[in-house]
Amino acid sequence: MRKLILFFIAVLLGHSQAGIFMYDTFTGTEGADLVTAYRGELQGNWVRTVGVTGTAEIASNRLRVSANNGFAVWRSSAVPTSADYSATADLRAVTDTGGLTGIGARVQHDGDGYFALFSGWHDGWTLWKRVSGSLTQLGSTSSATLTDNTDYTVTVDCSGSTIRLLTGHVLGGAAGTQLISVTDTDITGPGTVGILIEEQTASDTTGRHIDRVYAEQSGADVVRSTHIALGFDGDSIFGDYAREGTPTFAQVMTTRFNSPVCYNFSVPSQSITDAQGDESTQVTPVYALTSGFSQRVLFVLLGVNDCVNGSSASTINTNLRAYHATARAAGWKTVGFAIFKATSVNAGNETIRSDANIALNADTTFCDWWIDAVTLLGTPPNANFEDGVHLSATGVALLADYVEARIKPLPQKQSHFFTNAKVPVPELYLARRNQTLFEDAKLEDVAKLDDLPVPALDLPRRVSLPSYLPPLLEAAKANCFTFGSE
């Protein structure tokens, strides 16, 4: 019984919090353009991939293409911690038409990736890879007929070279039914979550719309070895979706701190005011979502676009301090950055940047750690900048070294919930939104519990479940377990 309770707690405080790294319901202003006028929920900021011109808009809190015969691939701002994850979309078959609609994983900057799509051309569920802009079907079509005004769920799951399409997945519940499984090695990088839509007839009352998208890290990979959750907010310097091959600062720092959770709120061209506008709907809620972690650190690199746009140094100073104040009030530990030099910041705007940094450096108590790496990175163009604005691989590594040395030691408690790196997690016990974890639990549904290590807690052996639970929960929350074998 002790092992069963510990397993529940580990899932509740460990697996479930880290499993979902992207979530968006497309709830927004009617007709809002997906890229230019919409801000999603968890990692739900979207950019259209290179070389694709189609547009999409919000319609009745769902997503649809904006024009007949439109085709596009969009990438989210999510940063998976590995290439092994699943992405799921809820589709609404408003009317069953031709074209392709669905979800992608490992989607690269040019739209290449793996896609699980319903195809009106093939009358069924289809799995595809997009390489160098060309779509190639993987496996055979799983025939299906969609009923008008009915919702369907489709998942693309990537695990190594195994790529699968499933339907009927339930978030935090049933894994779904595998319809197609293939082996393919053309796309191995993590990329990000993507959406692909090709629609003959685009309107609020025709075609297939996307109602919700979310992504989950594979169960074995989300067991965390540290208790640090990382967040990043900024512009394309933190999360430049137009480049490929150069790891972003967010990706590098996530690896450096061995954190399985990276929430990247960065949006290209974002100003401090833009970031403040969605701070309450993105940054603040994620703090609560990561409650199983003992430390949650938010890196904030903003201000370059404010200088380019001609904001005053005083306004930049005031707004950046206010942003940090809001994040810290929510509970985040924040890392602030002096504004880097950039070739896009010139003439009078360079004076704004310099004056803003002077004001910020005058009192750095508005954040928990202050990073002034302007001199370190130098004046672009140089080897630390790829294009005069965005950091090169050399620049990212240099900045990461500099930051890591200054914000350590963080409380990286290694006595996690389990000493073994990977633990099988039955689907029944994944977190259920707005439901108790113990609902409908049956002992026979729990696999291999005898293989799990047991904490050395001096608890009585003959007590009921309710008596066990409170002290175990308190111990788990304090992260004070010392594991060994009985």
Angle between helices 393-407 and 249-256 (to 10 degrees): 40
- The mean per-residue pLDDT over the stretch 57-76 comes to 85
pLDDT exceeds cutoff 90 at 177: yes
| Range from 112-126, 204-218, 234-248, 429-443 that averages highest in pLDDT | 112-126
pLDDT exceeds cutoff 50 at 27: yes
Q: Strands, E, within 112-167: which ranges?
A: 113-119, 124-131, 134-143, 150-159, 162-167
Confidence of residue 318 (pLDDT cuts 50, 70, 90): very high
Lowest mean pLDDT among 107-111, 213-217, 362-366, 441-445: 441-445
CB contact at 8 A, 99 and 247: no
- The mean per-residue pLDDT over the stretch 210-232 comes to 68
Domain with CATH 3.40.50.1110 in the chain: 228-407
**Interatomic CA distance for residues 477 and 109, integer angstroms:** 39
- The mean per-residue pLDDT over the stretch 391-407 comes to 90
pLDDT in tens, 78-130: 778 789 999 999 999 998 777 899 999 999 888 899 999 999 889 999 999 99
Domain 228-407 has CATH 3.40.50.1110: yes
pLDDT in tens, 254-293: 778 777 667 888 888 899 999 999 888 888 887 876 666 6
Residue that has been written with the tokens 């496996």 in this structure:
139
Which architecture does CATH list for 19-221?
Answer: Sandwich (2.60)
Closest CA to 248 of 104, 389, 21, 400: 400
pLDDT exceeds cutoff 80 at 159: yes
CB contact at 8 A, 122 and 110: no
DSSP states along 259-326: -S-EEE---TT--HHHHHHTIIIIIHHHHHHTTT-SEEEEEEE--HHHHHTT--HHHHHHHHHHHHHH
In the structure encoding, which two tokens stand for residue 60, read together? 């009745």
Confidence of residue 482 (pLDDT cuts 50, 70, 90): very low
pLDDT exceeds cutoff 70 at 227: no
| Range from 116-125, 199-208, 447-456 that averages highest in pLDDT | 116-125
Angle between helices 348-362 and 313-330 (to 10 degrees): 40
In the structure encoding, which two tokens stand for residue 366, read together? 């508005």
**Interatomic CA distance for residues 263 and 241, integer angstroms:** 15
Hey, what amino acid is at 4? L
Domain with CATH 2.60.120.560 in the chain: 19-221
Closest CA to 241 of 198, 200, 194: 194
